[in-house]
Structures are given as C-alpha cells and as structure tokens.
Amino acid sequence: MVCAGVDDYQDGTIKKHELTRADKEEDRVRHIDFLDANDEPVFYTYRNHPEISSLVGKAATAIPVYDFTTDDGVSHTLWVIDDRQTIAELTALFAVIPTLYVADGHHRSAAASRVRDMRKAANPGHSGKEEYNYFLTVIFPDNEMNIMPYNRVVKDLNGLSITEFMARLAEKFEISPLNSPLKPVHSHQFGMYLSGKWYELLPREGSFSEDDAVVRLDVSILQNNLLSPILGIRNPRTDQRIQFVGGIRDWMSLCAW
C-alpha cells in the first residue's frame, strides 16, 4: 500500500485499459477535492518480481497491525513496513519496474490527476512535492491477481419484447438455459439474467474476428454483438440505461437491479 505519482499516470508509466465515464469521473473529482483526501485506494498490478515478493513475504511473517473481518465476510490483514533498510530496498526495486497496470480504479486515478492539475494551477509556489501530486494505491503482483466479473446491467430491451430480443440475440450467440447463475470460467463465455431466468451465451462462429486483438476481447464481443446493435447502447460511457456492477457483489444483489 503506497502512494503513486500523478506524473507516472499522466506520462503512461501507469497503463490504463478502459475509458472513463464523464459523470463518474466528475463525481470522484468533487469527492476527493471536498474531502481533501484519497479515502479509497486504487488497485494496481505489476509483473511479478521475485525480490519484491520475498521482501513483502518476509514482512508478512510478523504480527499484523490490523487483522479483522468485516460484516460482508471479507478479511483484512495489514502489516506495516517501517524498517528504513527494507523501505530503501523496496523503493530501489520498484524504481526499475517499468510499468504499473490499473486493475481497478480508472475513475479514481483520473480524478486524482485532475485534482492535482486544479491545485497546481491554483498554487503559484507549486514544487511538485505537495501531497496532491500523489494518490493512494494498493499494488499486487500479477501472480496474486484474481480477476472477477464486471457485470453490465441494462434497464430495458430497447423496445423489443422478450421473444424479439431472444431472436435477435440468437443470430450472434448460442443460447443455453441454466438452472443457476453462471460464473464464466473461460473467455468468450457470458452469463445472462433475464426475466427471472439464467442463460449461457457463447458467440457464434464468425460473429467476431479472431485476428483483431481488440475485437476478440469479451468486452468488445458483448458491445459489438449485443449492447450496440440490439439494445442500442452505442456509448456505454455516457448511456444512462447501462450500469456496471463489480464481481465482488453476490448474484442475488445482481439480480435485484
């Protein structure tokens, strides 16, 4: 758990993989600026470095400063590294890590960047050392990552009946009814909840190009074959008919939307 530099975010050392929604980004800017704090860390990852893992692993053998489980059943254990030599070693090792990747927190990162620019412009004595030049992050190596779903919730069927919608959907996807929620276990597999029923969706052959690295991403398959042509959501960044629900939420809460 460390502070990341806005400069690294702005020059591309911190890599982004999605665009932000203007309304959500603006809300985060107001939130950070009003509180005068980054009260929720951004989640970054990096390619595993054995020496960093060794130092962090050694620190985690000590008695933790905090160790508790919250009401939602999530356990949190926190160790503090306050040994100056270890801090210096970790600082030197991270200095040669070429890139950090945003795992979760594109809006928080963008907002921290905008708040820095606002405060820099309002500070004639700006030095680059002020606290607003940094923001709170948690960083894990890629081999400790657990990628969770990022679900799309759409309010309506764009004027289609359920029968019409399913017919259009079947042109691009193989549809299989399910008796329980589906948590995808491989790429190009989607779960859909509609009118009290669960379905598995598998893209039909020829519905996307395997030769294009972007087009064959699941997010692109969903957008290009369902959200845009069938549901009319051409810009998920601005369309108010679509919401996003993180995979940490349970299936029952997802169905309640």
pLDDT in tens, 199-244: 999 999 999 998 888 899 899 999 999 999 999 999 988 888 998 8
| 75-96 mean pLDDT | 95
Q: Are strands 100-104 and 42-46 parallel, antiparallel or unpaired?
A: antiparallel
DSSP class of residue 84 equals: H
The pLDDT score that the predictor gives to residue 221 is 95
The pLDDT score that the predictor gives to residue 147 is 77
pLDDT in tens, 98-118: 999 998 899 999 999 999 999
Residue 141 has pLDDT above 90, yes or no: yes
Closest alpha carbon to 138 in 96, 68, 76:
76
The pLDDT score that the predictor gives to residue 257 is 64
Tokens of 239: 């369309």
Residue 72 has pLDDT above 90, yes or no: no
The pLDDT score that the predictor gives to residue 135 is 97
The pLDDT score that the predictor gives to residue 202 is 97
Closest alpha carbon to 135 in 157, 163, 105, 165:
105
The residue behind tokens 């972007």 is 214
Least confident interval from 22-26, 78-82, 236-240: 236-240
Cα distance between residue 214 and residue 182, in whole Å: 24
DSSP H/E element including 226: none
Residue 35 has pLDDT above 80, yes or no: yes
A 10 A CB-CB count for 154 gives: 19
Contact 176, 199 (CB under 8 A): yes
The values of phi and psi at residue 83, to 5°, are -80, 120
| 37-61 mean pLDDT | 95
The residue behind tokens 């030599």 is 85
pTM for the predicted model, two decimal places: 0.71
Residue 254 has pLDDT above 80, yes or no: no
CA 44 to chain centre: 9
Mean pLDDT of all residues belonging to the chain: 92
The pLDDT score that the predictor gives to residue 22 is 86
The pLDDT score that the predictor gives to residue 214 is 84
The pLDDT score that the predictor gives to residue 125 is 96
